[in-house]
């Protein structure tokens, strides 16, 4: 049934394209343009057409999400001045597309629809833990004169990663949750303290109690899903001296063969992305065992612990605060996770 709906959608698209291909608008990206800003600049709601834009322009996007200045891009869903039958075909296509997507409120109104990309991770279970939260904002920095907190950015990247994995059929448990935030496209993310631990537990102020709570939640879920393919990804943002620029690091348990492979697969993906998109800059991020970290030591699923960057360093802040960069990070991590599973 699913195969047939995709076939119908493809045929409908061909019909619309043949009748109204001249209606597709092309624009040239200027320096500083991002996908969201480019679409807004040309009068298109980016949240309605983001996925279509990426699909149409995939070959001209750097690291799958960034525009390249001077390149020509196609703007999807330009209003067509055509006969009524074309409008009817478009409506049918939209209805079929809805069958292939599911809405999740945790991602927020603008990003709640998860459109199926594949079933490559069907049956797999992933536990995603973003660092700190609740009474503890984690590492702090200052960007554009405003305070920024680790937990807000780790959470946003985690949500984006969850959405990517779910689009490939995975079942995802988001262990730290904030029902009010969702995926946000701001540079400065407002700091709050209302996050809870899955499903709705108050997060303790005491650090040890907070970590024990997360370990208990993950290990109980792991036990209830015994026999299934399960992995854990923990996301943090580091805090070091302002002058220290670092790359993304991956840690694993020293005795976990599968955890090491997961960290290595994501690390390998990042190395390849840097080589392709930043050929003049070497990638210094590593993957290594760090069993001294509480969640690495105590949790049962094979896992990797990711440090995204230094929240106090100006260069690293660009990686963290730019929503397009957060999307790229989530996509690269998801590609590493796919690599890990499919090379098992």
CB 146 within 8 A of CB 162: no
Three-state DSSP at 142 gives strand
SS3 of 149, please? strand
pLDDT tens, 232-290? Answer: 999 999 999 999 999 999 999 999 999 999 999 999 999 998 888 778 888 899 999 99
Distance in angstroms (rounded) separating the CA atoms of residues 292 and 219: 18
Structure tokens at 173: 């448990």
8 A C-beta contact, residue 29 and residue 70: yes
| % of the chain residues with pLDDT over 70 | 85
**Against a cut of 0.85, is the pTM above it?**
no
- The whole-angstrom separation of Cα 41 and Cα 34 is 10
| C-alpha radius of gyration, the chain, whole number | 21
- Which residue, 256, 176, 252, 159, is CA-closest to 214? 176
For range 114-118, the mean pLDDT = 91
Residue 199 pLDDT greater than 90, yes or no: yes
d(CA 317, CA 248) in angstroms, rounded, equals 12
Q: Which of 20-29, 63-72, 111-120 has the highest mean pLDDT?
A: 111-120
Look over the chain and give the mean of its residue pLDDT values, rounded to a whole number: 87
- pLDDT band at 186, cuts 50/70/90? very high
pLDDT band at 310 (very low <50, low <70, confident <90, very high): very high
User: Exposure pattern of 98-129 as b/e (b: 16+ CB <10 Å)?
Assistant: eeeeeebebbbeebbbbebeeeebeebbbbbb
Of 77-91, 155-169, 323-337, the one with minimum mean pLDDT is 77-91
pLDDT at 85: 45
**pLDDT tens for residues 205-219?**
999 999 999 999 999
Per DSSP, what are the bridge partners of residue 133?
A: 136
Ordered by where they begin, the domains of the chain are: 2-100 (no CATH), 103-342 (3.40.630.40)
């Amino acid at each position: 049934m699913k195969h047939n709906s995709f076939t119908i959608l493809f045929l409908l698209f061909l019909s619309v394209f043949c009748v109204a291909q001249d209606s597709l608008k092309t624009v040239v990206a200027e320096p500083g343009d991002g996908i969201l800003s480019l679409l807004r600049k040309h009068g298109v709601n980016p949240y309605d057409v983001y996925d279509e834009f990426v699909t149409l322009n995939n070959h001209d996007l750097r690291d799958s999400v960034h525009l390249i200045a001077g390149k020509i891009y196609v703007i999807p869903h330009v209003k067509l001045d055509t006969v009524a039958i074309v409008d009817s075909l478009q409506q049918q296509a939209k209805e079929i597309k809805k069958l292939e997507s599911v809405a999740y409120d945790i991602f927020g109104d603008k990003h709640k629809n998860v459109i199926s990309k594949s079933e490559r991770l069907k049956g797999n279970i992933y536990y995603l833990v973003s660092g700190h939260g609740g009474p503890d904002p984690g590492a702090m920095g200052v960007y554009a004169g405003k305070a920024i907190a680790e937990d807000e950015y780790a959470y946003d990247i985690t949500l984006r990663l969850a959405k990517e994995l779910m689009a490939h059929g995975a079942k995802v448990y988001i262990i730290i949750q904030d029902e009010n935030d969702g995926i946000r496209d701001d540079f400065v993310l407002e700091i709050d303290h209302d996050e809870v631990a899955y499903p709705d537990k108050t997060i303790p102020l005491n650090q040890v109690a907070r970590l024990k709570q997360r370990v208990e939640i993950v290990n109980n879920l792991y036990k209830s899903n015994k026999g299934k393919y399960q992995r854990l990804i923990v996301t943090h943002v580091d805090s070091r001296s302002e002058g220290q620029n670092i790359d993304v690091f991956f840690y694993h348990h020293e005795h976990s063969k599968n955890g090491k492979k997961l960290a290595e697969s994501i690390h390998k993906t990042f190395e390849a992305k840097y080589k392709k998109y930043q050929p003049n800059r070497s990638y210094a991020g590593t993957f290594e065992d760090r069993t001294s970290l509480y969640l690495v030591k105590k949790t049962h699923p094979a896992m990797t612990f990711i440090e995204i960057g230094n929240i106090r360093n100006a260069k690293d802040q660009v990686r963290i605060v730019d929503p397009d960069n957060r999307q790229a990070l989530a996509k690269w991590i998801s590609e590493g996770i796919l690599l890990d599973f499919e090379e098992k």
